[in-house]
C-alpha cells in the first residue's frame, strides 16, 4: 500500500495517522503536487493528494473516501462508530474542522498565487471570517479528553492536523486564548505514537510565496 502525498497537507497527514493508528503497513510517495505535478497526475487523475494505492493497484482518492475504506477494514477499532448519533457527531466535528481548513487553505492559496496588490480583500476577509467562525464553533463543541468524548476519533485527528497547518502557515485567526482548548487537544494528540509517526519532515512543504 502506497500513500501518495506530503504531510504538510493536513488531509494527507490525517490518512497517515489513521494508517499508523490501525497498524496498517504502508510506504510513501512524497513527490510534490507542485514540484512534480505530472507524476502525481499519472497516479491521481485530479493531481490531488492524498491518494492511496492499494496492493492490487487500485487507486483511492479523497481523504474521506479513503478513510471510509480503511474504517471498514478496521472494524471495531475504527476511529468512528458504524452508525447512530455518535457517528453523526464525529462526522460533524470532522466536517467543521475540514471546512475550517478549506477556508484557511483558500487564504494560503490566494496569497501564494497573487502578488499583494492583486489579492482580493473581499475574498480574504470572507475566508478569514469563516475560518475564525469555524475555530470558535469547534471550541464551543469540544469535549474532554477528546473532541467527541472519551475516545480518540477522526475529529481529533482532523483538528490536530488543522492546528498544525495553521501554526505552520497561517495563524492570524488562531487565538492562543480563545482557542486554547483546541491547541491543547492538538498538543496532547501530537504526542501520541500514530501522530509522531506521521510527523512532517523538513522537506515536506508547499513552496512559500
Residues interacting with a copy of itself, by CB under 8 A?
Answer: 41, 45-48, 60-62, 64-65, 68-69, 72, 83-84, 87-88, 91-92, 94-96, 98-100, 103, 109, 113-114, 118, 120, 122-123, 129-130, 133-134, 136-137
Contact between residue 190 and residue 46 where contact means Cβ atoms under 8 Å apart: no
Q: Which is nearer to a copy of itself, 156 or 200 (CB)?
A: 156
The CA distance from 25 to 209, in Å, is 35
CA 47 to mean position of chain CA atoms: 17
Q: Which is nearer to a copy of itself, 72 or 168 (CB)?
A: 72
Residue 209 CB, shortest distance to a copy of itself, in Å, is 11
In the complex, minimum distance from the CB of residue 26 to a copy of itself, in angstroms, rounded to a whole number: 17
Task: Give the shortest CB-41-to-a copy of itself separation in angstroms.
Answer: 7
Q: Evaluate whether 13 touches 194 at the Cβ level (below 8 Å).
A: no
Helical spans, DSSP H, in 2-120: 10-22, 37-43, 63-74, 85-113
Q: Give whichever of 60 and 198 is closer to a copy of itself, judged by the CB atom.
A: 60
Minimum CB distance to a copy of itself smaller for 51 or for 194: 51
Alpha carbons 45 and 58: distance in angstroms, whole number: 13
Q: State the Rg of the chain over Cα.
A: 17
Bridge partners (DSSP) listed for residue 162: none
Nearer to a copy of itself, 25 or 118 (CB): 118
**Distance of closest approach, residue 140 Cβ to a copy of itself, in angstroms:** 9
C-alpha cell at 180: 486554547
Q: Whole-number minimum distance, CB 168 to a copy of itself, in Å? A: 21
Amino acid at each position: 500500500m502506497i500513500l501518495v502525498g506530503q504531510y504538510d497537507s493536513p488531509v494527507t497527514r490525517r490518512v497517515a495517522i489513521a494508517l499508523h493508528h490501525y497498524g496498517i503497513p504502508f510506504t510513501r510517495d512524497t513527490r510534490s503536487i507542485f514540484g512534480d505535478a505530472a507524476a502525481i497526475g499519472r497516479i491521481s487523475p485530479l493531481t490531488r493528494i492524498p491518494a492511496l494505492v492499494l496492493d492490487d493497484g487500485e487507486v483511492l482518492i479523497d481523504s474521506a473516501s479513503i478513510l471510509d475504506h480503511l474504517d471498514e477494514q478496521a472494524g471495531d477499532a475504527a476511529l468512528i462508530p458504524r452508525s447512530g448519533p455518535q457517528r453523526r457527531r464525529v462526522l460533524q466535528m470532522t466536517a467543521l474542522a475540514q471546512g475550517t481548513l478549506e477556508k484557511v487553505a483558500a487564504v494560503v492559496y490566494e496569497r501564494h498565487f497573487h502578488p499583494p496588490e492583486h489579492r482580493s480583500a473581499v475574498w480574504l476577509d470572507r475566508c478569514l471570517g469563516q475560518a475564525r467562525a469555524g475555530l470558535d464553533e469547534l471550541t464551543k463543541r469540544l469535549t474532554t479528553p477528546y473532541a467527541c468524548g472519551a475516545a480518540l476519533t477522526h475529529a481529533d485527528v482532523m483538528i490536530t492536523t488543522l492546528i498544525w497547518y495553521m501554526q505552520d502557515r497561517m495563524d492570524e485567526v488562531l487565538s492562543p486564548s480563545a482557542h486554547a482548548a483546541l491547541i491543547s487537544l492538538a498538543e496532547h494528540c501530537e504526542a501520541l505514537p500514530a501522530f509522531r509517526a506521521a510527523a512532517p519532515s523538513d522537506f515536506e512543504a508547499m513552496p512559500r510565496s
